[in-house]
């Protein structure tokens, strides 16, 4: 059976390793030629190693996965790996590239591998493939909806986990960290609250204090304290978050 080659580019070492292990298990004929920690390294690897395909994280330092795809357009097949799902997924129906959401599951990767194997059996005209990739990149760069955060990367000991933002009750600044609070767990991340606010869907996450953002879909109660301060309560937990007076107007219609 013909040997197929690929490179993996992601700024998270744990994710590069886990994806490599998954691919090796599900596709023994696939040889991983190398790993890249950023977009610049990815371009260099693709140009030097000339792989059949490249698994690219969309959000990487140096160059994004989309910028890498533009740079090497037509050189190999592209598979985007990302934690964001607000891109125009219908653009991928052309099967010029694939699109896999983090965390990458075995079932989803099996589908991707099946699609890639079918593509490898077809001798596509290079110019046609190049046009397909350029079209998809254009859609990604001119997407009509913002790319709101879907998963939060957190560390628990030596492990890296992805927490769906839908499970988060609130984000709260704490010293040099930000608390990510779910109904059953508390995690610490180094992303400031003010930076998170720009990446969260404003229809779902509201800033209620200079140091706190809440998930309004997880609010259970809103009541006043004995000092007349508005207090937010959440589902499945006793945690509460106070609302600054300057943000109380957000809840007048609730």
Q: At what angle do helices 106-120 and 13-26 cross, to 10 degrees?
A: 60
Q: Which residues contact 153 (CB under 8 A, 6 or more apart)?
A: 12, 83, 160, 161, 162, 189
- According to DSSP, residue 181 is labeled E
Q: Please tell me the distance from the alpha carbon of residue 177 to that of residue 191, in angstroms, as a whole number.
A: 7
CA angle 176–59–57, rounded 5-degree value: 125
CB 208 within 8 A of CB 229: no
3-state secondary structure of 226: coil
pLDDT attached to residue 94? 37
Residue range 60-84, pLDDT digits in tens: 888 888 888 888 877 888 888 876 5
pLDDT attached to residue 159? 83
pLDDT attached to residue 126? 46
pLDDT attached to residue 65? 85
pLDDT attached to residue 251? 82
pLDDT attached to residue 139? 59
Closest to 60 (Cα-Cα) out of 77, 84, 76, 27: 84
Domains of the chain by start residue, with CATH:
4-141 (3.40.50.2300), 151-251 (2.40.50.1020)
pLDDT attached to residue 249? 82
For the chain, which ranges sit under pLDDT 70?
1-2, 83-98, 121-147, 253-254
């Amino acid at each position: 059976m013909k040997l197929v080659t690929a490179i993996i580019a992601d700024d998270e070492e744990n994710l590069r390793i886990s994806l490599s292990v998954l691919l090796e298990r599900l596709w023994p004929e696939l040889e991983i030629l190398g790993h890249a920690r950023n977009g610049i390294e990815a371009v260099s690897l693709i140009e030097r190693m000339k792989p059949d395909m490249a698994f690219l994280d969309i959000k990487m330092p140096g160059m994004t996965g989309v910028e890498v795809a533009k740079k090497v357009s037509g050189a190999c097949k592209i598979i985007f790996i990302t934690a964001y799902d607000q891109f125009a997924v219908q653009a991928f129906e052309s099967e010029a590239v694939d699109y896999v959401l983090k965390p990458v599951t075995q079932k989803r990767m099996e589908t991707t591998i099946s699609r890639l194997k079918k593509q490898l059996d077809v001798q596509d005209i290079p110019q046609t493939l190049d046009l397909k990739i350029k079209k998809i990149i254009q859609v990604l760069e001119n997407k009509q909806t913002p790319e709101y955060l879907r998963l939060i990367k957190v560390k628990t000991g030596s492990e890296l986990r992805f927490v769906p933002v839908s499970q988060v009750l609130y984000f709260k600044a704490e010293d040099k960290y930000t608390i990510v609070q779910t109904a059953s767990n508390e995690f610490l991340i180094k992303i400031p609250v003010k930076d998170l606010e720009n990446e969260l869907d404003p229809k779902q996450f509201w800033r209620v204090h200079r140091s706190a953002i809440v998930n309004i879909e997880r609010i259970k109660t809103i009541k006043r304290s004995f000092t007349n301060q508005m207090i937010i309560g959440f589902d499945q937990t006793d945690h509460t978050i106070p609302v600054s007076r300057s943000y109380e107007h957000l809840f007048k219609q609730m």
